[in-house]
Amino acid sequence: MDYQAILEEIAETVKKHPKKGNVATYIPALAKVPDDKLGIALVTIDGKTFSYGDAEEKFSVQSIAKVFSLVLAFSKIGEALWQRLGIEPSGNPFNSLVQLEYEKGIPRNPFINAGALVVDDVLMALFPDAKAELLAFIRKLAGNTNISYDKEVASSEWDTGYTNAALAYFLKSHQNMRHKVIDVLDVYFHQCSVAMTCKELATAFLLLANHGVIPATGERILTKSQAKRLNAVMLTCGFYDEAGEFAFRVGLPGKSGVGGGIVAVYPGEWSIAVWSPSLNDHGNSELGIQVLEMFTTLTEKSIF
């Protein structure tokens, strides 16, 4: 299949669509990103790469990084992780305080903000320096040491992260946060600030396309069963309160971030990353979803 030609056809088509959505202005550093960026990268398990546009420009991956922290925590403590987290779609905004209160401090899933805070609390119990360990893990998955935290974005997260702080204190009040709130928030805000390219993201997600094994090195990080479970959580919970719509239109497990990135995987074959900063009302990339819907339609490759 000529993936390169397909990516180029899709990109040229969606760029003609009427402009919709807006960049995430509530995080000052993200408000500066030009809204006309479009990058696409597909990486196969056997090492082939196909790309279009701004695929090698770094951007803030934001909530996509929740997948990396979840993989790391799950690989270390296994099923015990779900004693502190649920695995159900939220149906509510990713930063909902109401839902966390209703469910007595047990986040509905690991991809809403409260769930990611709990995962980071787990990482702090596992490693003396959770920020350094997480970054090293991401670099290993991507096969690239040139991946770092964006200090400007991390600072913006600190300056505007009042709701996340409220979620963290609420978790603490329900004994679902073991470390100091300020320390967990520091890990979380840095996690959100990771800067990567579409090519780096697609490469890093090959772990989940390859049933828990990094293709380039052969190192197993997750069991096949664990990889299956995390792909299932991505499918049902990876797109905030639009997960059902994404599954309906695209039909792949994946994860989005308010930096405009989306990564999706086709188990056994490839992963694909798209970056377009303008977001819809749910916080997902407007063009990114269009690109992936067209891609699975044209290639006839989805999990359904």
C-alpha to C-alpha distance for 102 and 37, rounded to whole angstroms:
39
Active site residue 3: no
Catalytic position from the list 52, 149, 188, 266:
188
Catalytic position from the list 51, 60, 63, 75:
63
Active site residue 26: no
Active site residue 66: yes
C-alpha to C-alpha distance for 235 and 239, rounded to whole angstroms:
8
Helix, coil or strand: residue 181 = helix
Residues 167, 114 contacting (CB under 8 angstroms)? yes
Rg (CA), the chain: 18
Catalytic position from the list 258, 265, 274, 291:
258
Active site residue 240: yes
Catalytic position from the list 43, 51, 66, 265:
66
Q: Taking CA 67 as the corner, what is the angle to CA 176 and CA 102, rounded to the nearest 5 degrees?
A: 35
Helix, coil or strand: residue 1 = coil
C-alpha to C-alpha distance for 105 and 97, rounded to whole angstroms:
10
Catalytic position from the list 240, 255, 276, 285:
240
Q: Which residues are catalytic?
A: 63, 66, 188, 240, 258
